Structures are given as C-alpha cells and as structure tokens.
Structure 1
C-alpha cells in the first residue's frame, strides 16, 4: 500500500473500509429480500383464506410492521458490524504496514519520515529508533545526508523497536521523541478514521 502523506494513508484505509462495508450492505439487502418474500407469501395466503377487507387490513398492518422492523434491524446491523468492520480493516492495514519495507521506495520513505520527525522536535542531536529488520537501511550515508539537510547530528540508537515500519526520532537526552512510524501515524489518525469508516458504513445504504 503506497503511502505518500497521512492523507493518502487515511484514504487507503477508507477505501478498504468502503469495500467491506459494501459487502455488508449487500448481505443485509439479501436478508431484507428474503424477509419480504416470506411476507409476500404470508399475504397471499391471507387473501386466499380471509375476506378481502380483512386481508387488506392485514396487509396494511403487516406493511407497517415490516417497515418498522426493517429500520430497527438496519440500525442493529450497523451497531453490530461497525466495530468488527473497523477491527478487520485495522488488522488488514497493520499487516500491510509491516510489508512496507519490501517496497523499493521504502528507503526514501524512511528518509522523509525521519526528516519530518526531526522537524517536529527541538534540539540538535537525535537518535533514530527502527525495527531490527530496518537497521541496515540506516547507513552512515543515510545519517550524513539527513544531518546536512536538517543541520543536526544523528545516530542510530542502540535499541530497536519491534513490529514497526518507519522511524521513531528521539532526542539524544531521551526526554522527547516523535513516533513517526507508520503504526504511530495510524494511531494518530484513529479517531478520525473511526468516524469516517462509520460515516461511510451508514451512508452506504441510506440509514440515518
């Protein structure tokens, strides 16, 4: 999943959420069609066994019940599936983020994330914390180029951070840090993304 900015990152997640939401809506639609078909058979039976007046009254009552039940079921469906949808999307994206290092553009992404992390902090000396799998990317040339660009002194931290892609920039005195890992970016966007996923899920079939 190519990521250029946090906006692109958020949009990629929303696109996956939209696809899964459409699947959920399609499933709910098929269930609604099944209920309506059963109701149609029930009303046909009423016309055969009841008087026209009684059958018509039954049809009106049944119609109101179906509408009310459909609205209630739709809301219930969203409440039950919303968190599962978000959890599924979250897991899928988390898995993809760990695969980012396999992309040939990953070293450039590391440079950009590091630069942004340095810009977010005050200070002149910083350490870069990355996953063990990424330590080979942080070469002397990598550090020298960024040092010249930012006017700071950089070093690769002794410790590694498991299960991340991207970088955590830490001031040399270890008092402040900027988590600019892809996982950190995801967490910073969590509230916004949850709202957007829920919004798109509800909009998908017109439930308000």
Structure 2
C-alpha cells in the first residue's frame, strides 16, 4: 500500500513559485523546473479554490449562526416583553382584587350598620315597634319606601297643623259643649215628661168634677 505524499505548506509552495517565476523572467528556467512550476501553480490554484470554498462555508455558517442568534435574541426579547406584560397584568389583577376585597368589607360594614337595632316582627297584625319598623323598612322595595316616606311626611304635616291650630284643644272644647248639650236635652226631656203628667192629672180632675156636677143636676 502506497501512501500519498503530504502536500507542501502553502507558504513553501508560494516561495517556490516566486523563485521559479523569477528564473522564468531571467530566462534561466530549466525544463524540469517548468514542470515543477506548473505543478506548483495548479496546486496553489486548487488550494486557493479550497480555501475559497472553506471561506464561503464558514461565511454561510457564520451567517446562519448570526441569524439564529438574532432569532434567539428576538425570541428572548418577545419572551421578556411577554413576561413584563404578564407581570403588569398580575400586578393590575392583584390591585383590582385588593380593591374589590376592601370594597366588599366596606359594603358589609355598611349593611351591618343599616341592620343594627332592627328586630323581626313576629305578628303582622300588631303595631310594629321602632325596631320592627326598621326591619320592615330595610326589606321594603324602593317604591314601597317612597310610599312610606310620603305617608310619614304627610302625617308629620298634619300633626304640625294640628299642633299649630290646637286641634286637640278644639276637640276637647267641642266635646265638652256636646256633653253640656246632652245634659240640657236630658233635663228638657225630663221636664217635658213631668209637664205631660201634670196635664194628664189636671184633665182627669176636670173630667171628674164635670161628671159630678152632671149627676147632681
């Protein structure tokens, strides 16, 4: 088995080519040296082509690596933007939840305050106490509350007018006048009954006397 001779280094080949070129210019190039010159020149061209191919492959690989790195950087940037956006959304959601929980606690406290002091009305046929009235008010519809409020305002206005006009005093005065009139009517009736009895006795006496005179005659 024969082994291929190792190729000479490029700098050695270039040095020999330069030497042979110089001899060729001076016309001192031997025939065997011309063959060597052609062989070295072909070897150098092949090496240059190989290096060019290698350079192109390396350049393509570098471009692929650069493109892949750029793609990874872009994906990393997108991932970072997504992470920052998710963090902002999470912070916003947390703030909204804490705000909602605080609002719920505030509303619960307000509801407890509104229901404080109320008492269930066991029998609807009875007049409600203030605590029972508060229980009914808190469970009434808005329309019913407006009706109750209008009735309360109307009753208050009537009570105010009665107080200013002393309606209770007037009622008591007229009640006394009515009682006095009833007493007078009773006395008059009794007097009328007594007069009728006296007239009946007198009539009977006259009739008796008249009958006695007729018998005497």
Q: Say yes or no: TM over 0.5.
A: no
Could you say which structure has the greater relative contact order, defined with CA pairs below 8 angstroms and 6 or more residues apart? 1
Q: Structure 2-normalised TM-score?
A: 0.22
Greater Rg over alpha carbons, structure: 2
Q: Structure 1-normalised TM-score?
A: 0.23
Higher helix share: 2
